[in-house]
Amino acid sequence: MTSVTSLAELDLKTVEEFLFHEARLLDEKKWQKWDGLFTTDGTYWMPASVDQPDPLNYVSLIYEDKLLRAVRIERFDNENAHSLQPIPRSVHLVSNVMIDAYDAVSGTCTVNSRFVVFEYRRDEQRIYGGAYIHDLIFDGTDFKIKQKRVNLVNCESALDNINVYL
Amino acid sequence: MSQANTIDIEPLLHKDEVHRKVYTDPDIFDLEMERLWHRTWIYVGHESQVKNPGDYFATTIGRQPVILVRHKDDKIHVLYNRCAHKGAQLVGDTSGCVKAFRCCYHGWRFDTDGALLTIPLEGGYDNTGFCRDNPDTNVKKVPRYDSYRGFVFASLSAKGPDLKTWLGGVASSIDNMVDRAPDGELEVTGGVLRYTHDSNWKFFVENLNDLMHAIVTHQSSSQTARIVAKRVMDEKDEVPWAVEIFSPFTNRYSFFEEMGLHAFEYGHSYSGGKVSIHSAYSDIPGYVEALESAYGKEKTLDIFSENRHNTVFYPSATIKGPIQTMRVVKPLAVDKTVIESWTFRLKGAPEAMTQRSILYCTLINSSANLVGPDDYESYHRLQYGLQSEANDWVSMHRHMDQEIVNADGTIEAEGTNDIVFRNQFKAWKQYMSAEDA
């Protein structure tokens, strides 16, 4: 196992590959594997305003821990989840990946990237854009997601259903 | 005369069914804007959104852009968001604080009560009839506005009942929500969620007290939450708030039947009373104590003895007192509606109370939540299903004539009675049939 002690040593390509892998799991509907990328206390957060300081004192579009992700993931395969019938498809594009910070002590790195997501369901295609901020824990070989923050560029606007994880 | 004015309302309603056109015809929507939304009391905003002089909140009443603003004498006004000069919107964003409104176009300045302050090169208006002694050079106030315990409503009609009379039996739902604050006041907090629906506004408003739908529509979220919680939690674990929030959506039919309905003049209603889907939330440490020390044990018990589900202030707003959230209806077109969701902080209560309300809003009301999209899917299918010529009539027959009409005209019924819809359409017809405001 290699030990990374500074930002300079953290390979951008490795980080990018992780983000691409994560995005691909979502597009391929491998929800359980995707959920497995999170730490036990890892959270998925899509704020309702772009500078939102926290998910507890402000409303969010999504703020999910492991339990809530499990509910959402089970709904994808639930024929009574009428809003997901037919099941939506997605394509995630991730780019402009930059490592903003790395803390060797906690093994946490903060990765900033940009995304475009196409969602398709029942004759309708929706396009979402924004920034991801991933707080990743790096143990020298693998990454785990401590938090994935999705800053949707138009998060304050009146939005129709968002049926997929962005 | 617009197309809308030639619509004959009488044939659109039977006592137990409503014509599908009421949800799908753009001309009927136009007439609704004119005769219902531009005449009755419409919720505008909460006083806490404009705490200080100069604070404003821009919103709409039906199709009219308006500004809720606090003047320097602390009085709150509702102004048309239109410059008195050439008509540009005075404010272009949703909220802020100003010393005065200055139009972005020709720089006319107005005080926060709408009074004209300055006109650049004002002499150009000498002897034109449009100088400052003409009241039309002030920003116009909407004909009527008033507030009830912090909730500001306005009417674009000078006629009609006053706010307190109009609220009638649903004022008590506001009372109960405000009384839940140990300091006796609410405050808007935590931002707003805005959710677009490609469906008629009435589907949303009817759904609020449609207690027959939850078990079916929310099975996939509520039941799944129960199952997942069972799987991942130990018996000794505290039930997470999220599970407490999701679970009651799939309580037994008998629970919803027993929740009961109350309906009132002008189309108002609430469901729940002694119990609701919000009754079984866990206690938050320090809250009951705070309330008891503010009001005493007896009044505290009295406050908690009411646990209402949705209260509808027909047609524009709905609150959930026990979890302190509010949804505001913004109809944009016959098949387009935006629902705004707001959260309130109970002043003097532990912060955890606010955090649970915030969680509720995120879990139930956001565009990406796990419950609302299945409601919305039903509205969407209604909007398209009612294009069908298979039957022109939409049923509201359930428990017809089984409701109890009290001596004061208020109505009580079992939870699954369609009386809420019949009562809404009774008010709808009165507004829609009246040619004069």
pLDDT, tens digit (0-9, with 9 covering 90-100), for B47-100? 999 999 999 999 999 999 999 999 999 999 999 999 999 999 999 999 999 999
The answer to whether B335 faces chain A, any CB pair under 8 Å, is no
CA B132/CA B135 separation, integer angstroms: 7
Q: What pLDDT, on a 0 to 100 scale, did the predictor assign at position B102? A: 98
**Residue B5 pLDDT more than 70?**
no
List of chain A residues whose C-beta atoms are within 8 Å of the C-beta of residue B373 = 83-84, 161, 163
Residue B232 C-alpha, separation from nearest chain A C-alpha, in angstroms = 8
Q: What pLDDT, on a 0 to 100 scale, did the predictor assign at position B1? A: 44
CA A49/CA B377 separation, integer angstroms: 25
Q: What is the mean pLDDT of residues B44-49?
A: 98
CA A2/CA B346 separation, integer angstroms: 52
Put simply, the answer to whether B368 touches A46 (Cβ < 8 Å) is yes
pLDDT tens-digit map of A28-71: 999 999 999 999 999 999 999 999 999 999 999 999 999 999 99
**Which structure tokens are listed for B208?**
């609020």
3-state helix, strand, coil in chain B (%, to 5): 35, 25, 40
Please tell me the number of Cα atoms within 13 Å of B207 on its side-chain side: 24
List of chain A residues whose C-beta atoms are within 8 Å of the C-beta of residue B360 = none
Q: What pLDDT, on a 0 to 100 scale, did the predictor assign at position A139? A: 77
Q: What pLDDT, on a 0 to 100 scale, did the predictor assign at position A3? A: 57
pTM: 0.96
Report B:11-50 residues touching A (Cβ under 8 A).
Answer: none
CA B262/CA B184 separation, integer angstroms: 25
Nearest to B373 among A60, A158, A163 (CB): A163
CA B35/CA B27 separation, integer angstroms: 12
Q: Which residue has the higher pLDDT, B427 or A141?
A: B427
Locate the chain A residue with the closest alpha carbon to B332.
Answer: A158
Report B:183-202 residues touching A (Cβ under 8 A).
Answer: 189-198
DSSP code per residue over B159-185:
-S--HHHHHGGGHHHHHHHHHTSTTS-
Task: Give the per-residue SS3 of A68-99.
Answer: HHHHHHHHHCCCCCHHHCCCCEEEEEEEEEEE
ipTM above 0.90, yes or no: yes
Percent of chain B at pLDDT > 90 equals: 96
**Which structure tokens are listed for B294?**
């503010």
The type of residue at B154 is A
Q: What pLDDT, on a 0 to 100 scale, did the predictor assign at position A135? A: 97
Query: Is-contact B308 B271, C-beta < 8 A?
Result: yes
Question: How many degrees, rounded to 5, is the angle at CA B317 between CA B51 and CA B3?
Answer: 120
Select the CATH number that applies to the domain covering B42-148 from these four: 3.10.105.10, 1.10.10.10, 2.30.130.10, 2.102.10.10: 2.102.10.10
Q: What is the DSSP letter of B13?
A: B
CA A23/CA A26 separation, integer angstroms: 5
**Residue B237 pLDDT more than 90?**
no
Burial B191-208 (b: 16+ CB within 10 A, else e): bbbbbbbbbbbbbbbbbb
**A38-47/A143-152 β-pairing:** parallel
Query: Which among B340, B329, B342 is positioned nearest to B424, based on CA atoms?
Result: B329
Query: Is-contact B340 B194, C-beta < 8 A?
Result: yes
Fold for domain A7-152? Nuclear Transport Factor 2; Chain: A, (3.10.450)
Query: Which among B54, B51, B12, B53 is positioned nearest to B29, based on CA atoms?
Result: B12
Peptide bond just before A53 cis, omega within 30 deg:
no
Peptide bond just before A86 cis, omega within 30 deg:
yes
Residue A108 C-alpha, separation from nearest chain B C-alpha, in angstroms = 27
Longest CA–CA separation in chain B, Å: 83
**Which structure tokens are listed for B30?**
């136009």
Task: Give the per-residue SS3 of A5-71.
Answer: CCHHHCCHHHHHHHHHHHHHHHHCCCHHHHHCCEEEEEEEEEECCCCCCCCCCCCEEEEECHHHHHH
Chain A residues with a Cβ under 8 Å from any Cβ in chain B: 46, 48-49, 52, 55-63, 66-68, 70-72, 74-75, 78, 80-84, 156-163
Residue A119 C-alpha, separation from nearest chain B C-alpha, in angstroms = 13
Locate the chain B residue with the closest alpha carbon to A163.
Answer: B368
**Residue B245 pLDDT more than 60?**
yes
Locate the chain A residue with the closest alpha carbon to B199.
Answer: A160
Put simply, the answer to whether B220 touches A157 (Cβ < 8 Å) is no
Domain ranges of chain A: 7-152
User: In CATH, which superfamily holds the domain spanning B169-433?
Assistant: Naphthalene 1,2-dioxygenase Alpha Subunit; Chain A, domain 1 (3.90.380.10)
Give B388's contacts (C-beta < 8 A, 6+ positions apart).
B20
CA A81/CA A83 separation, integer angstroms: 6
Put simply, the answer to whether B373 touches A83 (Cβ < 8 Å) is yes
DSSP code per residue over B81-110:
SS-TTT---S--SSEEE-SSEE-TTT--EE
Query: Which among B139, B21, B27, B144 is positioned nearest to B80, based on CA atoms?
Result: B139
Query: Is-contact A164 A118, C-beta < 8 A?
Result: no
Residue A21 C-alpha, separation from nearest chain B C-alpha, in angstroms = 23
Nearest to B367 among A57, A84, A162 (CB): A162
The type of residue at B174 is I
Q: Which residue has the higher pLDDT, B156 or B3?
A: B156
List of chain A residues whose C-beta atoms are within 8 Å of the C-beta of residue B368 = 46, 61-62, 159, 161-163
Rg of chain A, C-alpha, whole Å = 16
Q: What is the mean pLDDT of residues B175-191?
A: 98
Q: What is the pLDDT along chain A (166 residues), one digit of tens a residue?
A: 355 666 667 789 999 999 999 999 999 999 999 999 999 999 999 999 999 999 999 999 999 999 999 999 999 999 999 999 999 999 999 999 999 999 888 889 999 999 999 999 999 999 999 999 999 998 777 899 999 999 999 999 999 999 999 9
Put simply, the answer to whether A159 touches B370 (Cβ < 8 Å) is no
pLDDT tens-digit map of B91-108: 999 999 999 999 999 999
Mean pLDDT of chain B: 96
Give B147's contacts (C-beta < 8 A, 6+ positions apart).
B47, B76, B153, B163
Q: What pLDDT, on a 0 to 100 scale, did the predictor assign at position A103? A: 87
Q: Given its phi and psi angles, is residue B160 left (phi above 0), alpha (psi -120 to 50 degrees) or beta?
A: left
Burial B139-176 (b: 16+ CB within 10 A, else e): beebebbbbbebbbbbbbeeebeebeebbbbbbbbbeb
Across the A:B interface, residue pairs with CB atoms under 8 Å apart total 112
Nearest to A159 among B220, B246, B367 (CB): B367
Q: Which helix (H) or strand (E) holds A149?
A: strand A143-152
Residue B385 C-alpha, separation from nearest chain A C-alpha, in angstroms = 15
CA B128/CA B327 separation, integer angstroms: 47
pLDDT tens-digit map of B306-332: 999 999 999 999 999 999 999 999 999
Q: What pLDDT, on a 0 to 100 scale, did the predictor assign at position B2? A: 53
Q: What pLDDT, on a 0 to 100 scale, did the predictor assign at position B149? A: 98
